[in-house]
Amino acid sequence: MAFGKNSGFPGSMDINSLMKQAKKMQEDMKKTQDELAKKTFEITSGGGAIKLIIDGKKTVQSIEISKEVVDDLEMLQDLIISAVNEAIRQVDEAAAASLNNLTGGMF
């Protein structure tokens, strides 16, 4: 039994066309992932007391800490956690937006 554009089934799709579409989507997804990986995100916490830079692969590139918060270890830890969590959230949000643009909102 043959399937394809001449299979006689209403709405059936040519398998070659489907494979081409899948390959294009795979290439587009790879390109989108590569572009996201090159992006950097700058996050501040504590009114600028902590400045964190992270890339699209969720790798922290740098952390700058203001001298004013160094004396309060507990507050410093909280600010760093807050900055890292916000950075991860922003990268995830950018990735989701890229995927949504790529798929036309299918996911």
CATH code: domain 45-107 is: 3.30.1310.10
pTM reported for the whole predicted model:
0.70
List, in sequence order, every residue forming a beta bridge with 45; answer none if it has no partner: 50
SS3 label, residue 6: coil
**pLDDT tens string 60-97:** 999 999 998 899 999 999 999 999 999 999 999 999 98
Q: What string of DSSP letters covers 10-43?
A: TT---HHHHHHHHHHHHHHHHHHHHHHHH-EEEE
CA distance 28 to 30: 5
CA distance 81 to 96: 22
Residue with tokens 């760093």: 80
Domain residue spans in the chain?
A: 45-107
